[in-house]
Chains A and B, each alone.
Chain A
Amino acid sequence: MIVTANTLHFDSLPLDNGATLAPVDVTYESYGELNAAKSNAILVLHAFSGDAHAAGISPETGQPGWWDNMIGPGKAFDTNKYFVFCSNVLGGCRGTTGPSSINPATGCPYAMSFPVITIGDMVRLQRMLLDALGIPRLLAVTGGSMGGMQALEWAVAHPDRVVAAIPIATTTRHSAQQIAFNEVGRQAIMADPNWDGGSYYGKELPARGLAVARMVGHITYMSDDSMREKFGRRLRGKENFGFDFEVDFEVESYLRYRGSQFVGRFDANSYLYITKAMDYFDLTNGHRSLAVTLEPVQARFLVISFSSDWLYPSYQSQELVRALRSRNCDVAYVELESNYGHDSFLVDVAEQSSLVRGFLASTFEKLS
């Protein structure tokens, strides 16, 4: 399945910080057909470093989408039945307006003059996309990690437009540990002399800083078990230690490769802005408790967490589930056994698929 991205243009977007961003582009991909009743639309929300290319093969890169194992004909998000779409988030660098976009007022990239954005702003822009596509209500909103935060924001901010929500490996608010890891990433970028206050466009990129940020990120996405299984203490292309600071271990080689690969596809300033949005995220925002926040929610929920995910631990999903139950919401929850850490929702999808398939089928059945 070869898929192409589309871009829509909006005149302006009001932001949570009081500013207005104008104009704004949104890049999205879609798979499957919207039915006549427009009742089969599923919005898939990508995680921190993802993009609109969720499924199929990109004609530019030849790469499969980041959730290609979940979306497609006969898969969990069955494109023979459902219309599935995914857009690059606000602040991103893959087609939707972000700090690397040209500010029409100056003719230069926004860089650090880009306004600080929130998960709520991302969802507001997605709602404009929904309106533009003429979709009254989403059969489901779903995503893992930061995608799950957006799914939660959707269910609370637009309760009348969400029939079901599937937040996976996520939280209702970032913990101190999650903020801490993001801050290490940001400091690594800003400590790179090439970052230059964010004005590196057209010059040498802050590649070292961004690569180090990504290396830290990758450690948090795996687990002790999965790293032991994947690398152990194996040496990389040598029989003995080199007694220098070149690559000795497989795990070093892997992290360096992942770090340098990331530099080619991700903007350092987007890293700063998007991680900040995640850190600001708190669904209870201004309310007495999570249960009070969830009062307007109408959607039914499928919440999934993973046993080895220490970045978004199960207790965070369970807090959400308990608050939903206290509101007597329709919620299914399970912690899946997996060794892959936070990455589980992307790579260990056999059980996740059967859950999503059944949950969507019963939701769709109740609707029609």
Chain B
Amino acid sequence: MSAQAVKKQAFVRELLGRSDYAIIGEIVEPQTKVLDLGCGEGELLEWLAQTKGVDARGVEISSAKVQRAIARGVSVFQSDIDAGLADYPDYAFDYVILSQTLQETRHPRQVLGEMLRVGRRGIVAFPNFGHWRVRCSMLTSGCAPRTALFPYEWYDSPNIHFLTVHDFENLVALERYKIERRYFLAGRRKVHTLPNLMAEVAVYLVTRE
């Protein structure tokens, strides 16, 4: 195995350490068109392009992150997500990914609607505010919860909308979207019972009905 291949293996393992990435990799079909909203430095897109041959695009607000994403060969444009999708035609993508970003958007309901306008399917991953550790943290401390998934002080958290598994499913029902698949994760393990209590991260594959 060449030095570069060894490096790539390590990189992928590191990447899959973020459990929702592994699930997203499982969902996305090869040779499709993928848009990642809030794509950071484009690690997920680069990995999807290399392993699945997808046509990978991204949106990111931070200029520094956009630069690093473009430097690694991913087509990313600098914009905020709330405004960034308006220009795309309907169904421009097979998948639109929102990986742990929904809770950071100002208008999550509109963002979901736009996702499912420009994409045939939406993949939404978010940290579950209903996890028992979050509930305990708040109950015992009386302060805004701080856990491994919500590590910020309330005043400098990027999270501006806190949602649980139930909250998300309620919104999906309200909007009459369809959930094609759902995954619940705690660390790298899948959770099968009491997801609203036990899941740290939830991943949904959503379409318009």
Q: Give chain A's interface residues, CB within 8 Å of chain B.
A: 300, 302, 321-323, 325-328, 330-337, 351, 354-355, 357-359, 361-362, 365
Contacts and interface: CB of A to CB of B under 8 A. Distances in A.
Contacts, number: 61
B164 to A, nearest CB: 34
Q: List 9 tightest A-B contacts by C-beta distance, closest first.
A: A362-B73, A358-B71, A333-B77, A325-B87, A332-B75, A354-B71, A334-B66, A322-B87, A328-B92
A359 B70 contact: yes
A330 B57 contact: yes
B191 to A, nearest CB: 37
Contacts of B92: 328
Given A332-B77, A333-B78, A336-B63, A355 B89 contact: no
Contacts of A322: 87
Given A334-B78, A337-B63, A361 B73 contact: yes
B89 A326 contact: yes
Nearest to B79: A333
5 contacts: A323-B87, A332-B69, A335-B78, A351-B67, A358-B72
Best-buried of B74, B77, B89 by chain A (most CB within 10 Å)? B77
Interface string B71-114: 11111111000000001110010000000000000000000000
Contacts of A362: 72-74
Given A355-B67, A355-B71, A359-B70, A334 B77 contact: yes
Interface in B22-38: none
A334 B71 CA distance: 11
Contacts of A355: 67, 70-71
Contacts of A336: 63, 67
B152 to A, nearest CB: 26
B70 A358 contact: yes
Nearest to B71: A358
A334 B73 contact: no
